[in-house]
Amino acid sequence: MKVAVLGFGTVGYGVYEMLKNAEGLTPGPVLVRPGKADEAFKVDSIEAIAADDSVDAVAEVMGGVEPAFSYACAVLKAGKHFVTSNKALVAAKGPELAALAKEKGVAFLFSAACGGGVPFLHNMSLAVQSDTIELVGGILNGTTNYMLDAMQRRGLTYADALADAQKLGYAEADPTADVTGLDALRKIMLACAVAFGRMPVEGLNNEGIDSFTAEDAEYLKKKGLTCRLIVSGVPVGENSLSAFVEPVLFEKTAPECSVLDNFNMARYHGKCSGDIVLMGQGAGRWPTASAVLRDLSDIISGRRYMMDPDVKCVCADNSAVLRKYCVRLPKEAKLSLPAEKEEVVGDNKYVYTAEVPVSAMHAEAEKIRKDGAKLFFAAIGQ
């Protein structure tokens, strides 16, 4: 099966090189920016790939929603299988692409879009064929895990941890999607679509690590707690689900505390299988490229989709999920949620809440920030 590649950056190069030695796969043309087609295998027009009858499948590793979506539609309409590592594309346009792929009788796979080299979506999409998935989640962003680990184990400041992550290639020049939790939020959208046949497109709650400070890290260390950014998705009734991203505090014996550097720890719970936990590198050239090749090999084996073409787009409901929180805010700031205790540390205080709905905690944080105060919050355990 000849495979064209859209994009020739870090991951695109990795995919192209792996195709040279992959069983049953051969590299085809590579789409590059206009004016960059300086070698015979490079082209700068999507039309050249869509019209090439020798190309059976296309792997998109460009990132972003446009022009990736337009390119995806072009190749699917041309009857070519489509594989992508682009979480933003699948989160925004996944149901449309799944429906188009079904109409044309071709494949649409995207396991590389969540977990990099960790076969999270791949395994879960197989599990749903014989089991009922009751929960999905875990640590699904390597950038933020690296930063949190560096701040807590090595005592780095937020700025130094970010600079370190960028130097190592774990964080983009613009790290906003990672540190605000948006990247992880897109991944939980995909995971829910695969696991439950429902994609949450509204009502999700999201808190990243951009409010976490060296002082928070030091305070939590003294308490014997470790902070990780965790995603969670659980079905709610027949038509909805809860889906959110937020920092979570764990006791030192929790498995999440052993997930260091830029590693991911993805998990799902099957009604029959119980807990399934997968660990590995969640980003980078070779881990992500290996996931793209895994999807392409699946196509050869006959797989055509991992998202149901009739997936439902739903509004998430996080009001029934109750959690206790640790909230850091200025001494003079007020927290309207019920509190069990508080500790004053310098100019700040740490308030420990009673159990409150996830949606209520996120709404409270938004209100306090609108009033001009800075705060950090994390759930206590899971």
Q: Is 121 in contact with 306 (CB distance < 8 Å)?
A: yes
Question: pTM for the complete prediction?
Answer: 0.94
CA distance 327 to 94: 36
Band (pLDDT 50/70/90 cuts) for residue 111 is very high
pLDDT digits (tens, 9 = 90+) for 6-27: 999 999 999 999 999 999 999 9
pLDDT at position 149 over 80: yes
377 - beta bridge partners? 327
Band (pLDDT 50/70/90 cuts) for residue 282 is confident
For the CA atoms of 113, 116, 118, 122, what is the dihedral angle to 10 degrees?
A: 30
pLDDT at position 57 over 90: yes
pLDDT at position 382 over 80: no
Of 291, 352, 356, whose CA–CA distance to 321 is shortest?
356
Cβ-Cβ contacts under 8 Å for 243 (sequence gap 6 or more): 188, 189, 192, 200, 203, 204, 232, 233, 316, 318
Residues 266-280 have a mean pLDDT of 96
pLDDT at position 301 over 90: yes
pLDDT digits (tens, 9 = 90+) for 207-231: 999 999 999 999 999 999 999 999 9
Mean residue pLDDT of the chain comes to 96
Which pLDDT score is estimated for 169? 83
Alpha-helical regions (H) of the chain: 10-19, 46-50, 68-77, 87-104, 120-127, 142-153, 158-167, 176-179, 182-196, 214-222, 285-300, 358-370
Beta-strand pair 133-139/263-270: antiparallel
Q: Is 82 in contact with 74 (CB distance < 8 Å)?
A: no
CA distance 285 to 287: 6
CA distance 242 to 232: 8
Instruction: List, as own/partner pairs, every contact residues 171-176 make where C-beta atoms lie below 8 angstroms and the sequence separation is at least 24, other chains included.
Output: 171/143, 171/146, 171/147, 175/143
pLDDT at position 122 over 80: yes
**What are the CA-CA distances from residue 105 to residues 81, 98, 200, 286 (Å)?**
9, 10, 26, 30
Q: Is 249 in contact with 220 (CB distance < 8 Å)?
A: yes
CA distance 15 to 373: 46
Which pLDDT score is estimated for 170? 87
Band (pLDDT 50/70/90 cuts) for residue 123 is very high
Beta-strand pair 26-31/42-43: parallel
Question: Is there a catalytic annotation at residue 187?
Answer: yes
Give the active site residue among 80, 87, 93, 187: 187
pLDDT at position 172 over 90: no
Helices and strands (H, E) in the chain, number of each type: 12, 20
pLDDT at position 279 over 90: yes
Which pLDDT score is estimated for 110? 97
Band (pLDDT 50/70/90 cuts) for residue 283 is confident
Of 22, 8, 11, whose CA–CA distance to 285 is shortest?
11
Band (pLDDT 50/70/90 cuts) for residue 44 is very high
